[in-house]
Amino acid sequence: MLVSSLYNIVDQIFIGQGVGYLGNAATNVSYPLTTICLAISLLIGVGSASQFSLYLGAKEKEKAEAVVGNGIAMMLTFGILYMVLIEIFLHPLLLAFGATAENLPYAETYSRIIALGMPFQVVTTSMSNLIRADGSPKYSMICMLIGAIANTILDPIFIFIFDLGVAGAAWATIIGQFLSFLAAIVYVRRFQSVQLRLADIRLNIRQSIHTASLGMSNSLNQVAITFVQIVLNNSLTYYGAMSEYGKDIPLAACGIVMKTNAILLAIIIGISQGSQPILGFNYGAKQYDRVRSTYKLAITCNLIVSAAGFILFQFFPYQIISLFGTGDAAYYEFSIRFMRTFLFMVIINGVTLLSSNFFAAIGKPIKGLLLSMTRQVFFLIPLVLILPLFFGLDGILYSAPVSDVMAFLVSVAVISRELRRMKKLEQGES
C-alpha cells in the first residue's frame, strides 16, 4: 500500500509543478479508477494467497498449484476486462467521479493512458500477495519498488524535458507498472513451494468464487474508499461552485490532502497488519496476556506515527502543499485550511485501523470488517452529505474529524469489551 501511495503522490507532485492545480484536480477525479483496480487486485490476490497457504499447510500441493494457476488466470482476465470497460465508459465515469469542464480534458488524457496499465497493476499487486505467501516477501517488495523507482525517475523527464504534461505522468506510471509486471511474471517459474505448469493457468469458476469470497473483506474496504472519494469529489464541486473558490480549487486541495494522508495510513496499516500474526498466534494459544501486550505495543507505535503526521499536517501545511505546485492566494488559503481541518483528528485513526485488524487476527472477520467501515461508510459519507446543508463547503471539512471521533469511540467501546472478555477467560483458566 505504501508503494501504491507513493506512485500516486509522485505523479501528483510532478503534475502540480508542471501543469498546475488543474492537473492535480484531474488526477484526483481519476483516482477512483486506481482504487477500484486495487480492490480487484486484493479480491484476487488476498483470496488466492489465503487458499494457497491453507493448501500448503494441509500438504495438498496439487490443489495449491491449481489455486495459483487459477489466480493468475483471474488476474489477466479481470485486468484486461477492467481496462476495456474504462476505455469504453471513461467519459461518463469521470463525470460521475466529479470532473468539471475545466479539468475534464486533463482527466481524460491521463485516464485513457493509465487504463492501459491496469492489467499490469492487477497482476503485480495480486502476485505480490502470492509471492509473500510463498515465503519471498523481499522479492514481493522488490517487484513493487522497481516500478515506483522507475516512475519517480521518468516523471520529471516526460513532464518537463519532453513537455508531455499529464500524459507524461501517465506514461511514466505505465512503464513503471510494466517493469513491476515483468518482475512478478518472472517469479511464476520460481515458486518455492509448487511447480507451476502452463496447463495450471486456467480459469475455474468454482475456484474463482471461493477465491473471491476470501478476498472480499479487503476488497470491500477499497470499494468503500472509492465510494467516499466519489461522494467527496461531487460534494466539493457542488458546494465549491457556490463559494469564492470555484469547483477546481477544492478538488485539487482534496487530492493533495487525501494522497498525503494515504502515506500516513499506509504506515499505520503496515504496523496493524504486522501485528496480526502475533495476535492470532497468541490468541490461538490462549496466551491472552501476550495478546493484550501486543495490542498495546501496536497502539503505541500507531499513536507515535499518527502524532508525527498530526504535527506535519498542522504546522507545515504550506510546505507540504507547495510540493504539489503553485496557485493563487485562494488556492493556498483553502488548501491549508482543508489539510488542517480535515486531518485534525488524524492522531486517533491508528486506534480504529488497528482494532479492525485485531478482530480479523483473532478469527472474527465480520466484526473486523464492520469496524473498519464505521468511519468511511457509517459516519463519513452521511456527514459529507448532511453537514454542508448547514455549513456549506466548510461542512465537508468538518465531516472528517467528526467521523474520526465517532469511529474512535465505537472502536474503543468494542475493543474494551473484547479485552475484558479475554481477561475473564484468562482468570477462569488460572
Indicate if 118 and 198 belong to the same structural domain. Answer: yes
Alpha helices in 58-103 (DSSP H): 61-96
Q: Of 172, 204, 227, which residue is a domain's last?
A: 227
Asked if the structure places residue 233 within a domain, the reply is: no
Asked if the structure places residue 27 within a domain, the reply is: yes
Q: Could you give phi then psi for residue 392, rounded to 5 degrees?
A: 65, -145
| CA-closest candidate to residue 3, choices 219, 269, 205, 189 | 269
What are the tens digits of pLDDT across the range 155-166? 999 999 999 999
Asked if the structure places residue 234 within a domain, the reply is: no
Indicate if 215 and 336 belong to the same structural domain. Answer: no
Indicate if 223 and 250 belong to the same structural domain. Answer: no
Asked if the structure places residue 236 within a domain, the reply is: no
| CA-closest candidate to residue 415, choices 356, 365, 360 | 356
Contact, 275 vs 295, CB < 8 A? Answer: yes
Indicate if 122 and 257 belong to the same structural domain. Answer: no
What are the tens digits of pLDDT across the range 167-224? 999 999 999 999 999 999 999 999 999 988 888 899 999 999 999 988 887 788 788 8
Q: Of 227, 262, 288, which residue is a domain's last?
A: 227
- For the chain, counts of helices (H) and of strands (E): 17, 0
Total domains present in the chain? 2
Indicate if 64 and 90 belong to the same structural domain. Answer: yes
Asked if the structure places residue 59 within a domain, the reply is: yes
Indicate if 188 and 254 belong to the same structural domain. Answer: no
Predicted local confidence at residue 1, as pLDDT = 64
Predicted local confidence at residue 23, as pLDDT = 94
Indicate if 263 and 204 belong to the same structural domain. Answer: no
pTM for this prediction: 0.90
Indicate if 288 and 156 belong to the same structural domain. Answer: no
Asked if the structure places residue 215 within a domain, the reply is: yes
Contact, 325 vs 20, CB < 8 A? Answer: yes
Indicate if 305 and 339 belong to the same structural domain. Answer: yes
Contact, 295 vs 358, CB < 8 A? Answer: yes
Q: Of 227, 261, 278, which residue is a domain's last?
A: 227
Predicted local confidence at residue 197, as pLDDT = 85
| CA-closest candidate to residue 203, choices 105, 333, 78 | 78
Indicate if 183 and 253 belong to the same structural domain. Answer: no
Asked if the structure places residue 358 within a domain, the reply is: yes
Indicate if 66 and 37 belong to the same structural domain. Answer: yes
Q: Identify the domain containing residue 281 by its residue range.
A: 241-430
Asked if the structure places residue 112 within a domain, the reply is: yes
What are the tens digits of pLDDT across the range 255-292? 999 989 989 988 998 888 778 778 878 888 889 999 99
- pLDDT for 82 beyond 80: yes
Indicate if 254 and 129 belong to the same structural domain. Answer: no
